[in-house]
Amino acid sequence: NLSTHVEDVCNTVRCEQLDKFILVGHSYGGMVITGVAERLADKITAIAYVDAFLPENGKCLFDYTAGDNNQRLLEAGERGGIAIPSPAQSMIGLSEVEKSLRAPMPIGTLVEKLKLGGKAASIANRLYIYAAKNPGPTFRQFYDKVRAEKGWKVAEAACGHGVHREKPEE
């Protein structure tokens, strides 16, 4: 579930003895880095959301996505796991190593509510990068929200959702 992913990143920070680092999350990774930032805010110098979910307290990923798709994913999850996006779409442009690392995404990552107490929001350097050519409306809501808030830097990338693959130099 989401807590497992947050704990995995926190454990990596501890094991690697990281301090004063930049935390970056893409897509669902925004849920994870927000949870990590809540626990390790004092170690993070900057946090960057790359076309990512930017959750509020008590919300899960499904609180931000379309109901019809949520139902399809829930049904798939009941059959033992899901892949997001569908495997055929998610393999385009990936190396053989990247393809070998793909795995079904457990339904718990999508339905677990994130509990926040304000520490994540205390990080001074916050950036949101919006993929302007992403056809879905999901991430525009977060970009629009932070553009209107003090303390955020924002940027647009002229590409689809796979910013890290399409515009790695940017």
Which mean pLDDT values do the consecutive 10-residue runs of the chain (170 residues) have? 97 97 96 98 97 96 79 70 59 76 82 94 95 88 94 94 88
**Distance separating the N- and C-terminal Cα atoms of the chain:** 31
Give SS3 for 40. helix
pTM: 0.89
- What are φ and ψ of residue 47, in 5° steps? -130, 135
Query: Which pair of tokens denotes residue 117?
Result: 């107490």
Residue among 124, 118, 110, 117 at smallest CA distance from 152: 124
Q: What is the pLDDT of residue 77?
A: 67
Dihedral of CA 156/110/108/42: which sign? positive
Q: What is the pLDDT of residue 165?
A: 84
Q: What is the pLDDT of residue 131?
A: 95
Q: What is the pLDDT of residue 11?
A: 98
Nearest-angstrom CA–CA distance, 146 and 156: 13
